[in-house]
Amino acid sequence: DDVYLKIRPLVERARVGHGSTLLCYGQTGTGKTHTMMGALYRVVKDLKGLPIEITFFEIHGKKCYDLLSDRKVVHLRADANDKVHVRGAKQTGLEEATPEGLLEVLQ
């Protein structure tokens, strides 16, 4: 609940059509995946019924891997406005956000 309260403003931004990014970092075995999955589940419940688009990637060392495309190497690039884009990453859309739909995408 504490983590979700911290990221709640991201949900509100997404609800009105803005992009939002959730980033977890830390050493191996510290619970990043558990935290991310719990947070995503709550986010999708709050956005239930709304269309969403998901890009899911991991930064490890100096490489970036697309977790929706068998860990294919992708690239982070900044545009002229310093907005970061993930080049080559798969973006998956859900017409209606549901926890079940999210789990299906992440399988």
- pLDDT of amino acid 39: 87
Q: 100, 48 in Cβ contact below 8 A?
A: no
pLDDT digits (tens, 9 = 90+) for 47-99: 888 998 989 899 988 999 999 999 999 999 999 999 888 999 999 988 988 88
**pTM score of the predicted model:** 0.78
